[in-house]
Chains A and B, each alone.
Chain A
Amino acid sequence: MTDSERRQLLHDLLQKQENGGLKPRDRYEIPPQDMPEQDPVVRAGNVNEVATGYTETHARIEALRCLGCKNAPCVNGCPVRIRIRDFVVEIAEGRYEQALSIIKENSLLPAVCGRVCPQENQCQLTCTVGKRFKDPTRAVSIGRLERFVADRDGRSESVPAVAAETGKKVAIVGSGPGGIVAAADTRRAGHEVTLFEAFHKPGGVMVYGIPEFRLPKAIVQNEIDTLAKMGVKIVCNFIVGKTRTVQQLLEEDGFDAAYIGVGAGLPNFMGIEGESLVGVYSANEYLTRANLMKAYGYGSCADTPIARSKAVAVVGGGNVAMDAARTALRLGAEKVYLVYRRTEKEMPARIEEVHHAKQEGIEFHILQSPKRILGDQNSQVTGVECLKYELGEPDDSGRRRPVAIEGSEFTIDLDTVIIAIGNKPNPLISQTMPELEITKWGTIVVNEETMATSVPGVFAGGDIVSGAATVILAMGQGRIAAAGINEYLAKKDK
């Protein structure tokens, strides 16, 4: 569709709506609006954002696809229960500010969630339109609409109101999405809030993990700036458990409550031969070098080097694996293979990211897994020996278990291997807090209604509680924890 055809379509639709209303049948016929994006060949050579965003015309047409269902089943699919129907209707009417304020009732980071939420498993999975087409990718594009209104607001500089000072001090540990939301919500209640971050830059996985081409760093920085404007103190290079312990913060430094949102940042390795060879990275290391340290600029501006690979295998099938593979491509690799034990259907990555990765030329090797990594006399990686797999009986997670086919070994020649098979919680804090109750996986045990931990005054949320999950879940928990903290501090008064 050309731009003028699209404008014409919107015009016709609006007219029809005025004249007698759009029937559901009419709405089903409106073509889903694809997001304009950079050409795959061009974008593989830059680090700019892939999807460039809806125009007003796109957004209003897409919003008109919404049936305005009475029971709004989409809302149940959203972990933070955004009033989706209501904000979509506002967009259809062209009232973008109203739409944004509805979203902001429940989500503090719409520009982020609109980009990275796995919508097809959440709000769009339960959307009536998607159900009708039996395809959540043909549901109303809720995420894109969210992004649209959030990006329009990018220029306005509204700072949330802060209640009168309570004189209470709150420590937020970790500046990921959960920490950001917890900081904002406790600050809004009038507490003195300090956000501690181990890295030299705040933002958590959103700055060190998720690449610029998917989530521009400026968006995250904008949220951090807003926190600062609200009066949240941001302290980087502060490793809680090392620089100060949680107990010291509470007992010696005058903090009345703490939120632990340190994420699940510890990379898993496979435990196979050759994993310590030169040229084997965890996805965390590879992405941190590339994103946080800007290693793509090595040799011109950045000081942190990264392997300039010709052929790369990324092991895994989640968002992290897709990000690593697509980053490798942007760093100049000629061949990037994605090696995954199960089939594409079982891949935990977002459909959109799988689609983008394929478009850019990542080669998918499904039903395969490395048996060992091969190296030369300099311990430099030269290849991986893989085994082929088939799917057997379903395991505990309900996914069919991959079973190795005996004798199916084969070798792929390459110079870099990136392991992206999941992350687990970092024990830095729990090691220095023996009274903190944790599970056998190292995640922190909480009361789900308040996110309170076993230690009075200490709350937790995000990946350190749920294991590696999503931005929106972390945000949701950050919000519940903030409410828990606000309530705890109100009681503590008496």
Chain B
Amino acid sequence: MSHRIVSKKQLSEDVFTAKVEAPLVAQARRPGQFVIISLNNEYAERIPLTIAGVDLREGTISLIWQRVGKTTAELSDLQPGDEIANVAGPLGNPTELEKFGTVVCVGGGIGLAPLLPIAEALKAIGNRIISIIGARNKELLILEEEFARTSDELIITTDDGSEPLAELCQAEPKPDKVFAIGPAIMMKFCCDVTRQFDVPTEVSLNTIMIDGTGMCGGCRIEFDGKAKFVCVDGPEFDGHKVNFDLMMKRLSAYKSAEQKEHERYKDHRCKVSEIKEKE
């Protein structure tokens, strides 16, 4: 099965989006689910990416990714017409969509990608949506227009979003539900806030994965004191029961090694482009 990149766009300095042929995945996918991709059969890493949207007519899925390490950098260098060797999915459980009433969607950085389809779906079934979207700085903010279109109220921040969230929670009536997706530290702060106000909060976790089918346990987190596998039990969880500190430690398990790999890849790219320039 071929997974051709049909189109590709750069959304900010390090964020890209592409439409990729994957008709079966597109057909089966529901909001909240992800795919695992890898760029070749022998030596590539398998990485999870959320399915940000689908086009059933074209048989494509949209991916949005942030260039953080070797694999996402390599992916960013692919062009329309190139193939992604492996795309497997859709994985994970779909978001449980319900009419909650007022829902606050807090998204940070690349977390805005998985948040958007959820916000859209929640809106479509009649929820009032307040979105708090943020990134480290304004240049890194993505999907602003899309969130503006989907939300009844839009708050933009350059912080982790917990402050405006606290304000919303203090108001009467307080929100019925919060969805928070972004860096682990952001989700942790948001959960610290909503816990105080007893507002149920759903988070989507981005642990390191391999198979995505429950087979390795690498994606496990501590939830309510017990081990859960993000790929099959999640990726969404009741944020009030997640041990974020431990999850963050597990996320950085390979940090220094991976930084080296990424540097090596960047060096290699520079050399390749130098050679090309000379020719």
Contacts and interface: CB of A to CB of B under 8 A. Distances in A.
A47 to B, nearest CB: 14
A391 interface: no
Interface stretch (A9-17, A59-67, A284-292, A401-409): A284-292
B24 A199 contact: no
B246 A379 contact: yes
A486 B134 CA distance: 59
B217 A269 contact: yes
Contact of B227 (A269, A293, A301, A428): A269
B90 A303 contact: no
Given A242-B89, A278-B253, A284 B216 contact: yes
Interface stretch (B53-61, B80-88, B122-130, B163-171): B80-88
A490 interface: no
A24 interface: no
B64 to A, nearest CB: 20
B211 A199 contact: yes
A281 B218 CA distance: 7
B217 A285 contact: yes
Contacts of B88: 198, 200, 237-239, 243
Contacts, number: 120
Contacts of A378: 249
B233 to A, nearest CB: 11
B143 interface: no
Interface string B210-232: 11011111101110000100001
Interface string B224-245: 0001000010000000000101
A278 B28 contact: no
Interface in B169-218: 210-211, 213-218
Contact of B210 (A235, A276, A293): A293
Interface stretch (B8-16, B39-47, B97-105, B109-117): B39-47
Contacts of A276: 220-222, 227, 243, 246, 250
Contacts of A236: 86
A201 interface: yes
B152 interface: no
Contacts of B258: 305
B110 to A, nearest CB: 20
Contact of B211 (A198, A302, A303): A198
B215 A200 contact: no
Interface string B1-42: 100000000000000000000001100100000000010011
Nearest to B254: A305
B71 interface: yes
Contacts of B159: none
Interface string A329-360: 00000000000000000000000000000000
Contacts of B41: 200-201
A428 B213 CA distance: 8
Given A293-B46, A297-B43, A303 B261 contact: yes
Contacts of B243: 276
Contacts of A426: 213-215
A265 B215 CA distance: 5
Contact of B250 (A305, A379, A428): A379
A68 B242 CA distance: 65
A250 to B, nearest CB: 16
Nearest to A275: B227
A282 B217 contact: yes
B210 A285 contact: yes
Contacts of A242: 28, 89-91, 213
Contacts of B220: 269, 276
Nearest to A263: B215
Given A237-B88, A269-B217, A298-B257, A379 B249 contact: yes
Given A237-B88, A278-B253, A303 B215 contact: no
Given A275-B227, A378-B249, A379-B246, A302 B43 contact: yes
Given A236-B86, A267-B216, A304 B28 contact: no
A244 interface: yes
A303 B43 contact: yes
A298 B261 CA distance: 9
Contacts of A289: 210
A308 B49 CA distance: 27
Nearest to A305: B254
A293 B216 CA distance: 13
Given A275-B227, A276-B222, A303-B261, A288 B43 contact: no
Nearest to A419: B217
A294 interface: yes
Given A244-B24, A269-B227, A303 B216 contact: no
B227 A303 contact: no
A317 to B, nearest CB: 19
A469 interface: no
B271 interface: no
Contacts of B217: 267, 269, 281-282, 284-285
A237 B86 contact: yes
B260 interface: yes
A76 B210 CA distance: 41
A303 B257 contact: no
A455 interface: no
Nearest to B213: A198
Contacts of A269: 217, 220, 227
B71 A303 contact: yes
Nearest to B69: A303
Contacts of B222: 276
A265 B1 contact: no
A285 B213 CA distance: 12
Interface string B135-163: 00000000000000000000000000000
A398 interface: no
A299 interface: yes
Interface of A: 198-201, 235-239, 242-244, 265-267, 269, 271, 275-279, 281-282, 284-285, 288-289, 293-294, 297-299, 301-305, 307, 378-380, 426-428
19 contacts: A200-B46, A235-B1, A238-B88, A239-B88, A242-B89, A242-B213, A244-B24, A267-B215, A269-B220, A276-B243, A276-B250, A281-B217, A288-B215, A293-B43, A297-B43, A298-B257, A299-B260, A378-B249, A426-B214
Given A265-B213, A379-B245, 4 more contacts: A284-B215, A294-B43, A301-B43, A379-B246
Interface of B: 1, 24-25, 28, 38, 41-46, 70-71, 85-91, 210-211, 213-218, 220-222, 227, 232, 243, 245-246, 249-250, 253-254, 257-258, 260-261
Q: 3 shortest A-B CB distances, which residue pairs?
A: A285-B216, A379-B249, A303-B45
